[in-house]
Amino acid sequence: MKKLKGKIPVAILGATGSVGQKFIELLSNHPWFEIKEVAASERSAGKKYKDAVNWILTSPLPEKIGNLTVKECDTNLNSKIAFSGLDAGVAGEIESNLAKAGYYVISNSRNHRFDKDVPLLIPEVNPDHLELVKTQSYKGAIVTNPNCSTIGLVLALKPLQDKFGLEAVNVVTMQALSGAGYPGVSSLDIVDNVIPFIGGEEKKMETEPLKILGSLKNGKVKNLILKISAQCNRVAVLDGHLETVQIKLKKKASIDNIIKEWKSFTSIAQKLKLPLAPLHPIYYLEQEKYPQPKLHRNLDKGMAVSIGRLRECSLFDYKFVVLSHNTVRGAAGGAILNAELMLKLNYFNSIK
């Protein structure tokens, strides 16, 4: 890849949506990738991006991107790497078609997450799963990242699974509004309220970790055997999913043991100094009222997970609180980190 001669051109699929916008924000000054194309539905195609989009982020829309003409999500795209923030209603087929045609689709959509040959990837957790790509029949490839509520949980669990083994995981979430997209949750439903239901979310949290924490053998992922129970709630927070977690471990571990594993946890993403990789994937906060969405969601570029309140539990072994930024670590940022890892590990070889 002629990276040295300049940045690698990339396209954003579903560019006008909320995840698409976050891709644009996070990639606008990226050292390796450069957004050259934005693609969306027929309705937007042909317009200037700034006229097609209802920009909802607090950082201003980069002028250069605003002046791009929106394209359709098809094989007329010139960029061979496409970040997908497509709606699940259309993502499945569009992504397959692009991969067949030789594109590398780095997707935040849920459609292909459980395809046997598609990695459900978190660079700090299962970088070896990237090898699945080699078993794909696509000329290009599809790589996915997990659901926004899964990723904080799995990052917190990974070092404990490695060191002590997990026997049971119970999680109750208080999820941010941005997780529902835009316009998403009506203000009339959430001011002075909590909604104790998010469609499909509990199943995602109970199944995705099993694949992510599974082991790769002979080109196949064998899911981890682990019972997870999840309950998901929507609260009046803009960004940042907070989760109360209870765990039962296979081996005995003290509070100090656990905190030590979290604090010392690092991975290939840190080793390779991937641009969006947090310095530390996990921060343990000592104050008993921490972590809090407003205070800690942006820690370490919004890519780190904050944990607090580790204490003994009468029903499980331990309970604690996890926070992660749902649209950064849990969506666009996570997908970009996947692409950074792929680049460093030469998974974009064919792009020349």
User: Any contact of residue 190 with a copy of itself (CB under 8 A)?
Assistant: yes
Phi, psi of 121 (to 5 degrees): -105, 135
Active site residue 232: no
Give least dist CB 139 to a copy of itself, A.
38
Active site residue 148: yes
Size of the site for a copy of itself (CB under 8 A): 54
User: Any contact of residue 16 with a copy of itself (CB under 8 A)?
Assistant: no
Question: Are residues 261 and 163 in contact, defined by beta-carbon separation less than 8 angstroms?
Answer: yes
Termini Cα distance of the chain: 5
CA distances (Å), origin 190, targets 19, 200, 234, 238, 351: 21, 19, 8, 11, 46
Part in contact with a copy of itself (CB under 8 A); list of ranges 70-78, 107-115, 158-166, 188-196: 188-196
User: Any contact of residue 255 with a copy of itself (CB under 8 A)?
Assistant: no
User: Binding residue for a copy of itself (CB under 8 A) from 34, 100, 110, 182?
Assistant: 182
User: Binding residue for a copy of itself (CB under 8 A) from 28, 97, 223, 292?
Assistant: 292
Retrieve residue 295's tokens. Answer: 């205070």
Question: Are residues 195 and 175 in contact, defined by beta-carbon separation less than 8 angstroms?
Answer: no
Nearer to a copy of itself, 229 or 254 (CB): 229
Cβ-based neighbours of 45, under 8 Å, separated by 6 or more? 39, 70, 71, 72
User: Any contact of residue 65 with a copy of itself (CB under 8 A)?
Assistant: no
Phi, psi of 74 (to 5 degrees): -135, -170
Question: Are residues 161 and 135 in contact, defined by beta-carbon separation less than 8 angstroms?
Answer: no
User: Any contact of residue 13 with a copy of itself (CB under 8 A)?
Assistant: no
Phi, psi of 23 (to 5 degrees): -55, -45
- Annotated catalytic residue, options 73, 112, 129, 241: 241
User: Any contact of residue 295 with a copy of itself (CB under 8 A)?
Assistant: yes
User: Any contact of residue 170 with a copy of itself (CB under 8 A)?
Assistant: yes
The residues with which 107 forms a beta bridge, in sequence order, are 84, 144
Length of the chain: 352
User: Any contact of residue 236 with a copy of itself (CB under 8 A)?
Assistant: yes
User: Any contact of residue 224 with a copy of itself (CB under 8 A)?
Assistant: no
DSSP state of 330: I
- Which residues of this chain interact with a copy of itself, rule CB under 8 A? 56, 58, 168, 170, 172, 174, 177-178, 182-197, 206, 227-229, 231, 233, 235-238, 242, 244, 246, 288-295, 298, 308-309, 313-316, 319, 321
**Residues marked as catalytic:** 148, 241
